[in-house]
Amino acid sequence: MIISNQQVQNILKSYGVTGSRKLRYSEPVNPAMRQDRLELSPEAKHLTAIRQQVAATPDVRADLVNKLKTQIKNGTYQVDSSEVAQKMLDRSLADQIISKS
């Protein structure tokens, strides 16, 4: 296939390169001089901090478990029925909202 000079000029014109402007070739990039950079948004930084806090939190709060065990053993553990009912309603509403999404 032979490509004519006019075809080359038409292609250059379609890319906005005029005949008076010479094509410039960039210098090869020296890999040692190139430095990569990563910049996180404030939201990403906040999310990272939250993830670190969650990862550092133990699955079982031993102090609370031991306190409750002691209260149950001593017979001093009292259940607040209105608080239990409120938590049940909250959970039910949250489940309904999630299932509608």
Q: How confident is the model over 61-99, as pLDDT tens digits?
A: 899 999 999 999 999 999 999 999 999 999 999 998 888
pLDDT tens digits, 24-67: 666 666 666 778 888 889 999 999 999 999 998 888 889 999 99
**Alpha-carbon separation of residue 3 from 7, 12, 19, 58, 85 (angstroms):** 6, 13, 17, 70, 82
SS3 of residue 88 by DSSP = helix
**Short-list 11, 12, 14, 10, CA closest to 22:** 12
Q: Which domain holds residue 89?
A: 61-101
The answer to whether position 78 is within a domain reads yes
The answer as to whether 65 is a domain residue is yes
Query: Is 99 within a domain?
Result: yes
Instruction: Give Cβ neighbours of residue 77 (< 8 Å, ≥ 6 apart).
Output: 68, 71
**Count of structural domains within the chain:** 1
Kindly report the pTM of this predicted structure: 0.35
What are 89's two structure tokens?
A: 């309603």
Within-domain flag for 7? no
Joined together, the tokens standing for residue 78 give 């009292």
